[in-house]
Amino acid sequence: MTKPVLVIASSNTGKLAEFHELLQEALPHGAVDLRPQPAGVTVEETGADFLANACLKATAVARFTDAWALADDSGLCVDALDGRPGIHSARYAPSSARRLERLLEELAGRQDRSARFITALALARPDGSIALTSQGISNGHILEAPIGEGGFGYDPLFWIPAVGRSFAQMTPAQKRRHGHRGRAFAALRPRLAAALLHQPPAESS
């Protein structure tokens, strides 16, 4: 039996690395042919929320590749900024460094620095129909200066009090446990093998 192809619907190298680790742990070794999104594929993110955008990306990449596709849409929602940058997190400024600078500029002098990272995941069948969705949230606050060398995006500014570290300081295992993407994937994981491999769903612990 030919094993299913699962395309990670992203060109973000940081996301690709995180998903690769998560999927390696969630699925039997060698059971699925994991592939990155083909070069040149772009999807306009016109959805009204994270889940809508994740579904748009998963559907488009699945239809383009004629394979299963797993997509996410993630963003940082800051309370003092009325939820911004939100679904526009990746387009908040032209570069990663400038996005961090802009966030700090907009929060200058503000006492309330509470924020949350949100991830929505969508798994699409090869015909583009959505098979599974999930969401994960991490609550924390925005630091006054970047800390840590790991991660990507806003990670150096996002502090998790329960861990006492920024996302950029966490080990991969810590980020999988406390991060929004890891939590969204944990909600999807019990149903993933059932969808891809036609196996019974994993029992909840």
Residue ranges of domains in the chain:
5-197
- Report whether 92 belongs to an annotated binding site: no
CB 187 within 8 A of CB 166: no
Per-residue pLDDT of the chain (205 residues; tens, 9 = 90+): 588 999 999 888 877 888 888 888 888 877 888 898 998 888 888 899 999 999 999 999 999 999 999 999 999 999 999 999 999 998 999 999 999 999 999 999 999 999 999 999 999 999 999 999 999 999 999 999 999 998 889 999 999 999 999 999 999 889 889 999 989 999 998 898 889 887 545 454 4
- Report whether 153 belongs to an annotated binding site: yes
5-197 CATH choice from 3.40.50.150, 1.20.120.1200, 3.40.605.10, 3.90.950.10: 3.90.950.10
CB 170 within 8 A of CB 163: yes
Q: Indicate if 73 belongs to the active site.
A: yes
- Report whether 181 belongs to an annotated binding site: yes
**Dihedral of the alpha carbons of 103, 106, 108, 112, in degrees to the nearest 10:** -90
Share of the chain above pLDDT 70, in %: 96
Alpha carbons 176 and 179: distance in angstroms, whole number: 6
Residue tagged active-site, from 73, 79, 82, 112: 73
